Amino acid sequence: MLPAAVSRQIRDLEQDLGVKLFTRRNRAVFLTEQGQELSQVVSAALGSISDGAVALRTSHRTQRVVFLCQLCEAFYWLMPRLSTFRDQHAGIEVQVVTSTRPVAEFNEPFDVALQTTGRASGVHPRVFTAADEVFPVCSPDYLATGTLPGLEALPAHMLLHYHATPADFMTWNGWLQTFGQAPVTSQRTIVFDSYPLMLQAAIEGHGIALGWRRTAARLIKTGALVQPCAERIALPDAISVYTAHGADKRVDVQTLLAWLEAQLLMDT
């Protein structure tokens, strides 16, 4: 807009309001007292319009919750169920991040976290716990190579170990000692630093692994794994769910927490 047109618009506004908005001194233009009052009103109004526009632009956008999930639970338990959350809550996007390290050692921001109880959680508040069970699993082909091993015979078999760092998971020796059995010898073991890799080794027939029910259940259901013996250890508070400080006040976080708790209870 040309300067002459601007001046004309100002004169028209001053005539409409019946007050002088500007005063001119030495080729400089200054706001009058009335002009300053109008400037404050207009600035506040424009700010409100801007805030309203931002709210309108973002109101229809998807809410995002960052969910930090222990790798094995994310792989075997969460992935088959996550589509049901999306179907029920299309307006909430869950960004799943995984880690094999404890929550306390995760340095990126998150809203909700799930991990094995007993692993370091730092200052993050725990919201609830869920139960799990631990029992031996192996492939049907492995069982076909010999007789069904009883509890006493397990140490004589090739046992697959998951070695976690730090050592927060139940080991074969801990499991066997619960039932009064002797510890295993190193000659009959294979050690893995990944729980999914250990389960895959069991599926491929390399030996017998310790499986956690929530992560092994689908593999048992499909027949990829079987239970060679009936003994199991129940862990009533095996899994813990945490939030970042203050995140539990958000509606989208509350929605995910409620869904997680319902899903974990459903599997009990």
β-strand 28-31 against 126-137: which pairing, if any? unpaired
Within the chain, where are the H helices?
3-17, 33-59, 71-73, 79-88, 140-144, 172-178, 195-203, 213-221, 251-266
Q: What is the CATH number of domain 3-59?
A: 1.10.10.10
pTM above 0.85, yes or no: no
pLDDT of 47-74, one tens digit each? Answer: 677 656 545 444 444 589 999 999 999 9
Tell which phi-psi region holds residue 122, choosing left (phi > 0), alpha (psi between -120 and 50) or beta.
left
62-268 shares the fold of 3-59: no
Q: 72 near 196, Cβ under 8 Å? A: yes
Q: 209 near 195, Cβ under 8 Å? A: no
Choosing among 3.40.50.720, 3.90.1150.10, 3.40.190.290, 3.40.50.300, the CATH entry for 62-268 is 3.40.190.290
Domain ranges of the chain: 3-59, 62-268
- Six token digits for residue 257: 């927490």
Count of Cβ atoms closer than 10 Å to residue 216 Cβ:
25
pLDDT of 146-202, one tens digit each? Answer: 767 788 888 888 999 998 776 678 899 999 999 998 888 767 789 998 999 999 999
